[in-house]
Amino acid sequence: MEFTKKEQSFLDEYKKISHYMEASKLIAWDLRTKAPRKGIKQRSETLSYLSERLHQLQTSDRMKEFIDELRLSENPYIRRSIELVQREYDFHHKIPVEEFKAFVQFTSESESVWQEAKEKDDYSMFQPYLEKIVDYNILFADYWGYEGHIYNAHLKHYEPGMTVDTLDGVFPKLQKDLSRLIEQVKASSFKPQIDQITVQFPKEKQEAFALHVLDQMGYDFEAGRLDETVHPFAIGINPQDVRVTTNYDELDFRTAVFGTIHEGGHALYEQGFDPKLYGLPVCSATSMGIHESQSLFWENFIGRSKAFWNTNYSTFLTYAPESFKNLTPKEFYRAINEVKPSFIRIEADEMTYALHIMLRYEIEKGLLNGDLNVKDLPGIWNEKMKDYLGTEPSTAREGVLQDIHWAGGDFGYFPSYALGYMYGAQFKHTLEKEVNIEQAIEQNELKKIKEWLNKHIHKHGSMKEPLDLLKDVTGEGLNHQYLVEYLTNKYSDIYGISLS
C-alpha cells in the first residue's frame, strides 16, 4: 500500500504509540500471569510511566495536526485510521495527564488488591479501591461529556454506536425470553447427570487437551501461547503475538476447557487481521461486542455442540480420568450443557449467561448515576442474583468479587458480553447458509469455519463500525431472536421437552 509523504509521517508517529502500547500490554500480561507479588508496585509505576508517554503522544499538537490534515485523505485506510485516532485524542485530551497517570497506576495496584481480596473472601479490602475507581469514572464521564445517561460516556468506548436507550430496549426482551425458557427447563424431569464429570482431573491433562483443541481451531502457536491466570483473558501484544490464558479447576474441567476455547476465539480474531492493516490504527478489533461474538461463537456454538463431542470424545477420553469412560457421548454432551444457575459468570451455562451481564449492567448504571453506593454492593449483588437467577452467593468471592473488570476500571465493558452473544448467534445463522457447520465439525474441518470468520469479520479489523459490520454480514441490525431460537432448539433436545 502506497502512502503520501504526510500519511507516512503520520504512520511513523503512530508507530511510537504502537511501541508504548506493546510494552504496556506485555507488562499487563506479566502482572496477571507471572509477576512475583513483591514486584507489583514497581511494575505498576512502570506501567503508569508508559501510560503517561502514551497520553502525551496521543494528545500532542503534532497528532492534532495529522488529524486536521488527513481526515479527508483519499486513502480509505488512512481516513478510517484518522477517525480512530481522533477518538483516542478526544478520549485522552479531555483528561489531565496527571489524573490519567494516577488512574492507570491506581488500577494496576487495584487489580492485585482485588486478587488478594478474592483469595481471602474479604470485600472490605477492595471496597476503598472500588469507591475511588467509581469516582474516577464519574469524573472522566464529566470530562468527556455525554448525551442522555452518564453510562453512555463509557459505553461508547467499548461499543461505538451503542446507547443505554438501545440496551434498555433489548435487554428486558432477552431477559423475558430467557426466564421463560429457564422455567420450562426447570420443570423437566429429564435432567442431565453431572456427578461423573465433576471428579478429580489433573491440571496437566486438562492443559494437554486444551492445547489440542486450540490447534484444531487453527490457533497459531508461533504467534501466541497458553498460560495460567486467576481470571482468564486473551491479549494481543501485536497481531503476531496474541496470547491466551486459562484457569484450572481440578474438580471441574469445564472451567479450563471452555475457558480456553473462549479465549482462543478472541485470539483467532486478532490473529486474523489482514496483514495489510499491520502498522495502522485500524489493525484492531472494531468493538468489544464483536470481540465477544467470536469468543462466544467458538465456546458455545462449536465447543459445546453435539457434533464437536461426537467427533472429539474418544480423543478427550485419552486425557480424562477413567470414570469418564462410563459415559456415552450423549450423556457427556447433556452433562456439559446442564442448565443450572451458577454464581460465577465465566462458569455460567448458555441459558443463564446473559442474565449475569444484565445484572452487572444495572449495578454499573446505578453506581455511576449515584443511585447505588459501593459499600452496599455485597447485599445489592445478592438481591439481584436472587431476582435474576434465583440463587444467592454465600461469599463475596462467589458474588461481588468474582470479576476483575471493576478492579481494572472497566465500566461500560460488561454489556459487550451479552451483545457479543447476540451478534454471534446472528453470525452463526448467516454462516449456516454457506457452510454446513455440523459437517465441518464432524469432519475435523474447524478451519473451514475459521476461514469464513476470517473473510467476513476478522480481516476487516476496525475498518467498519460494529453495527455496520453486523449489517454487512447478516443483512440486518441487532436481533436477539436468533439467540433465543438457538437456545430453544438446542435445549429442547437436551431436556427432552418442546420449549416455546
How confident is the model at residue 463, as a pLDDT?
98
Question: Residue 136 phi/psi, 5° resolution?
Answer: -60, -45
User: Could you read off the pLDDT of 380-393 as tens digits, one per residue?
Assistant: 999 999 999 999 99
Do 373 and 487 lie in one domain? The reply is yes
The answer to whether the annotation marks 228 as part of a ligand binding site is no
Question: Residue 225 phi/psi, 5° resolution?
Answer: -160, 165
Mean pLDDT of 134-138: 97
How confident is the model at residue 396, as a pLDDT?
96
The answer to whether the annotation marks 250 as part of a ligand binding site is no
- How does residue 117 score in pLDDT terms, banded at 50, 70 and 90? very high
Mean pLDDT of 431-457: 96
Do 58 and 191 lie in one domain? The reply is no
Tell me what percent of the residues of the chain surpass a pLDDT of 70: 100
Distances (CA, A) of 321 to 12, 171, 211, 311: 54, 41, 18, 19
**Residue 492, pLDDT above cutoff 80:** yes
What domain count does the chain have? 2
**Residue 49, pLDDT above cutoff 80:** yes
Mean pLDDT of 316-343: 94
- Residue range of the domain that includes 434: 164-495
How confident is the model at residue 174, as a pLDDT?
97
Phi-psi category of 383—alpha, beta or left, where left has phi over 0 and alpha has psi -120 to 50?
Answer: alpha
How confident is the model at residue 37, as a pLDDT?
86
Do 288 and 408 lie in one domain? The reply is yes
Residue 37 lies in a domain: yes
Do 111 and 198 lie in one domain? The reply is no
User: Could you read off the pLDDT of 246-294 as tens digits, one per residue?
Assistant: 999 999 999 999 999 999 999 999 999 999 999 999 999 999 999 999 9
Residue 157 lies in a domain: no
The enclosing domain of 272 has a CATH number of 1.10.1370.30
- Distance (Å, rounded) from C-alpha 56 to C-alpha 62? 10
- Distance (Å, rounded) from C-alpha 229 to C-alpha 235? 12
- Distance (Å, rounded) from C-alpha 331 to C-alpha 359? 32
How confident is the model at residue 271, as a pLDDT?
98
Question: Residue 340 phi/psi, 5° resolution?
Answer: -155, 115
- How does residue 453 score in pLDDT terms, banded at 50, 70 and 90? very high
Mean pLDDT of 478-487: 97
Do 234 and 109 lie in one domain? The reply is no
Last residue in a domain, options 115, 145, 175: 145
**Residue 346, pLDDT above cutoff 90:** no
Of 36-50, 227-241, 323-337, 428-442, the one with minimum mean pLDDT is 36-50
For residues 231 and 385, the model is more confident at 385
Last residue in a domain, options 110, 145, 180: 145
Work out the mean pLDDT of the chain and round it to a whole number. Answer: 95
**Residue 449, pLDDT above cutoff 90:** yes
Amino acid at 499: L
Tell me what percent of the residues of the chain surpass a pLDDT of 90: 88
How confident is the model at residue 34, as a pLDDT?
86
How confident is the model at residue 297, as a pLDDT?
98
Phi-psi category of 279—alpha, beta or left, where left has phi over 0 and alpha has psi -120 to 50?
Answer: left
Do 453 and 350 lie in one domain? The reply is yes
Q: Starting at the edge strand that comes first in sequence, how are the strands of the sheet with 226-228 ordered?
A: 226-228, 241-246, 234-238
**Residue 378, pLDDT above cutoff 90:** yes
Last residue in a domain, options 116, 145, 174: 145
How confident is the model at residue 80, as a pLDDT?
98
Do 122 and 189 lie in one domain? The reply is no
The answer to whether the annotation marks 262 as part of a ligand binding site is yes
Q: Which residue has the cell 457452510?
A: 435
Residue 489 lies in a domain: yes
How confident is the model at residue 261, as a pLDDT?
97
How confident is the model at residue 257, as a pLDDT?
96
Do 100 and 247 lie in one domain? The reply is no
> 0.75 exceeded by the pTM?
yes
Mean pLDDT of 13-20: 97
How confident is the model at residue 469, as a pLDDT?
98
**Residue 97, pLDDT above cutoff 90:** no
Residue 153 lies in a domain: no
Answer whether 157's CB lies under 8 Å from 410's CB: no
Residue 302 lies in a domain: yes
> Which residue of the set 109, 263, 350, 362 is catalytic?
263
Do 137 and 233 lie in one domain? The reply is no
Q: At what angle do helices 466-474 and 288-296 cross, to 10 degrees?
A: 50
- Distance (Å, rounded) from C-alpha 275 to C-alpha 273? 6
Do 110 and 241 lie in one domain? The reply is no
Strand partners, 246: 228
User: Could you read off the pLDDT of 390-435 as tens digits, one per residue?
Assistant: 999 999 999 999 999 999 999 999 999 999 999 999 999 999 999 9
**Residue 146, pLDDT above cutoff 90:** yes
Do 136 and 172 lie in one domain? The reply is no
Do 123 and 178 lie in one domain? The reply is no
**Residue 500, pLDDT above cutoff 80:** no
**Residue 484, pLDDT above cutoff 90:** yes
How confident is the model at residue 349, as a pLDDT?
93
Q: Is 88 noted as a catalytic residue in this protein?
A: no
**Residue 44, pLDDT above cutoff 90:** no
Strand partners, 236: 242
User: Could you read off the pLDDT of 57-75 as tens digits, one per residue?
Assistant: 999 999 999 999 999 999 9
